[in-house]
């Protein structure tokens, strides 16, 4: 009903400072979203801190530069509207021959090709996956479709991480990282509903820290890669209950009203073992999981 719109606009003008004059400084623009606008090229949504024509994507970290020429620059108002230039304080999109999501990550800084900035824009912290699991297509012929679907989901979900995985029992698939179990369930549901994929999901796992007998320390999120008992000295785990079924229990008992935020502070040594699953006497590594020793029955 347009109630309070004028007051909100006036408050924005009064409380939010205008962009600083950056006409004499190298361009810096923050990528805050990505989208496939047409074809297979990836368009980056950016917040501008200067004038833009040709550009370089400045990844920090690591300190890598990827050079592109802007095929199209525009704004969304609300549909695509091509413009000649974008200026400081404006939000718009730029399209180039960017073919992979990794080349235009959310949080990366765009700068001029001929006059590059010395550093990237501060304030962005990349999301760290807390839970991982394997996703394998029931039909091996759907592996390319699964790869394409994950790349499209990652365009709008920077917290989703994945890398290829091969199993003698499951075939080709991916090990995926998520923020938690709810995030994992949402991604799996979208893959099955929006892309018509039939998937096999392995048991969710967290990142464990393994102290080896030789003094080395390694991190392991895949139970199938856990070192043999004779090669490891101890295993440390994060607060598994917190990233596991705790939030499901919290939502269930509060009927969806309760919520909670937490900060990961470190690992604690635990008595853990690897639980293997055998089918017809053969060990199926993707189904293996790491559990507490007191929860295993022989």
- How much is the average pLDDT of 261-276? 76
Q: How confident is the model at residue 107 (pLDDT cuts 50, 70, 90)?
A: confident
Tokens of residue 231, six digits = 């090669």
Please tell me the predicted confidence (pLDDT) of residue 218: 86
Domain contains 188: yes
Is there a single domain that holds both residue 69 and residue 96? yes
Domain contains 86: yes
Is there a single domain that holds both residue 177 and residue 72? no
Domain contains 64: yes
Is there a single domain that holds both residue 160 and residue 55? no
Is there a single domain that holds both residue 161 and residue 292? yes
- How much is the average pLDDT of 72-98? 81
Please tell me the predicted confidence (pLDDT) of residue 54: 45
Is there a single domain that holds both residue 147 and residue 252? yes
Query: Which CATH number characterizes residue 161's domain?
Result: 3.30.70.870
Which phi and psi angles does 92 have, rounded to 5°? -155, -165
**Could you say which of 86, 112, 138 is where a domain stops?**
112
Is there a single domain that holds both residue 154 and residue 241? yes
- Highest mean pLDDT pick, 75-79, 102-106, 143-147, 277-281: 143-147
Please tell me the predicted confidence (pLDDT) of residue 72: 80
Q: Tokens 């590059």 identify what position? A: 116
- How much is the average pLDDT of 219-238? 78
Domain contains 267: yes
Is there a single domain that holds both residue 131 and residue 101? no
Mind spelling out the 3-state secondary structure of 32-72? Answer: EEEEEEECCEEEEEEEECCCCCCEEEEECCCCEEEEECCCE
Is there a single domain that holds both residue 169 and residue 256? yes
Q: How confident is the model at residue 110 (pLDDT cuts 50, 70, 90)?
A: confident
**Could you say which of 65, 83, 112 is where a domain stops?**
112
Please tell me the predicted confidence (pLDDT) of residue 91: 85
Q: Cite the beta strand spans of the chain per DSSP E.
A: 29-38, 41-48, 55-59, 64-68, 72-76, 80-82, 91-95, 109-112, 131-137, 161-167, 171-178, 199-201, 208-212, 217-220, 232-237, 268-270, 272-275, 278-279, 282-283, 289-292
Q: How many CB atoms lie within 10 A of CB 278?
A: 9
Query: Which CATH number characterizes residue 29's domain?
Result: 2.40.30.10
- How much is the average pLDDT of 23-41? 72
Is there a single domain that holds both residue 72 and residue 147? no
Q: How do residues 37-70 score in pLDDT, each as one tens digit?
A: 655 556 666 766 655 544 544 444 334 456 777 7
Is there a single domain that holds both residue 138 and residue 89? no
Please tell me the predicted confidence (pLDDT) of residue 63: 40
Please tell me the predicted confidence (pLDDT) of residue 27: 78
Is there a single domain that holds both residue 96 and residue 140? no
Is 175:132 a contact under the CB 8 Å cutoff?
A: yes
Please tell me the predicted confidence (pLDDT) of residue 244: 58
Please tell me the predicted confidence (pLDDT) of residue 229: 79
Q: How do residues 156-212 score in pLDDT, each as one tens digit?
A: 787 888 989 887 778 899 989 888 778 888 999 999 999 999 999 887 777 778 888
Domain contains 42: yes
Q: For the ranges 81-90, 120-129, 141-150, which has the lowest average pLDDT? A: 120-129
Q: How many CB atoms lie within 10 A of CB 132?
A: 20
Please tell me the predicted confidence (pLDDT) of residue 145: 94
Percent of the chain with pLDDT over 90: 13
Domain span holding position 77: 5-112
Is there a single domain that holds both residue 32 and residue 167? no
Please tell me the predicted confidence (pLDDT) of residue 53: 46
Domain contains 121: no
Which phi and psi angles does 88 have, rounded to 5°? -55, 135
Task: Please tell me which residue, 11 or 208, carries the higher pLDDT value.
Answer: 11
Cβ burial, residue 286 (10 Å; 0-12/13-18/19+): buried
Please tell me the predicted confidence (pLDDT) of residue 245: 65
**Could you say which of 112, 140, 157 is where a domain stops?**
112
Please tell me the predicted confidence (pLDDT) of residue 196: 93
Tokens of residue 10, six digits = 């006036």
Please tell me the predicted confidence (pLDDT) of residue 296: 67
- How much is the average pLDDT of 106-114? 77
Domain contains 99: yes
Cβ burial, residue 4 (10 Å; 0-12/13-18/19+): exposed
The span from the CA of 7 to the CA of 10, in Å, is 5
What's the mean pLDDT when you consider all of the chain? 78
For the chain, the domain total comes to 2
Domain contains 39: yes
Which phi and psi angles does 142 have, rounded to 5°? -90, 5
């Amino acid at each position: 009903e347009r109630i309070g719109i004028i007051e909100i606009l006036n408050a924005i003008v009064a409380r939010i400072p205008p962009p600083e004059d950056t006409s004499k400084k190298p361009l810096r623009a923050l990528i805050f979203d990505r989208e496939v606008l047409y074809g297979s090229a990836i368009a980056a949504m950016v917040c501008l801190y200067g004038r833009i024509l040709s550009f370089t994507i400045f990844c920090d970290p690591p300190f890598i530069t990827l050079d592109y020429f802007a095929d199209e620059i525009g704004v969304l108002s609300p549909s695509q509207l091509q413009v000649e230039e974008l200026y400081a304080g404006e939000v718009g999109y730029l399209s180039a021959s960017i073919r992979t999501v990794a080349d235009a990550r959310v949080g990366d800084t765009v700068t001029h090709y001929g006059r590059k900035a010395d550093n990237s824009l501060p304030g962005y912290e990349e999301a760290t996956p807390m839970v991982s699991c394997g996703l394998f297509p029931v039909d091996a012929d759907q592996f390319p479709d699964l790869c394409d679907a994950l790349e499209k989901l990652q365009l709008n979900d920077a917290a989703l991480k994945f890398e290829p995985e091969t199993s003698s029992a499951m075939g080709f698939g991916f090990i995926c990282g998520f923020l938690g179990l709810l995030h994992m369930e949402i991604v799996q549901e979208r893959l099955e509903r929006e892309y018509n994929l039939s998937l096999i999901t392995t048991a969710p796992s967290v990142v464990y820290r393994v102290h080896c007998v030789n003094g080395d320390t390694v991190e392991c999120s895949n139970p199938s890669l856990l070192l043999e008992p004779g090669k490891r000295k101890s295993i440390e785990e994060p607060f598994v209950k917190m990233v596991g079924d705790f939030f499901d229990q919290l939502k269930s008992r509060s009927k969806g009203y309760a919520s909670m935020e937490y900060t990961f502070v470190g690992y604690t040594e635990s008595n853990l073992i690897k639980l293997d699953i055998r089918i017809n006497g053969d060990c199926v590594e993707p189904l293996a999981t790491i559990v507490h020793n007191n929860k295993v029955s022989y």
